[in-house]
Amino acid sequence: MNFFTELFANQIFMSAFIGWFVAQVLKTLIHLWFHKEFVAERLIGSGGMPSSHSSTVCAMATSTAILYGAGSFEFAVTVFFAIIVMHDAMGVRQETGKQAKILNEFLAMFSTTENNFTEEKLKEFVGHTPLQVLMGGLLGILIGLLYCL
Per-residue pLDDT of the chain (149 residues; tens, 9 = 90+): 699 999 999 999 999 999 999 999 999 999 899 989 888 888 888 778 999 999 999 999 999 999 999 999 999 999 999 999 999 888 776 667 677 777 777 777 766 656 666 566 666 666 678 899 999 999 999 999 999 98
pLDDT value at residue 114: 60
Please give the C-alpha separations between residue 127 and each of 8, 49, 83, 130, in angstroms, as whole numbers.
29, 10, 15, 10
pLDDT value at residue 129: 85
Using CB atoms within 10 A of its CB, is residue 44 exposed (0-12), middle (13-18) or buried (19+)?
Answer: exposed
Phi, psi of 95 (to 5 degrees): -65, -35
pLDDT value at residue 101: 75
pLDDT value at residue 19: 97
Q: What pTM was computed for the model?
A: 0.80
- CA-to-CA distance for 19 and 135, rounded, in angstroms? 12
pLDDT value at residue 75: 98
Residue (of 83, 80, 78) closest to 67 by Cα position: 78
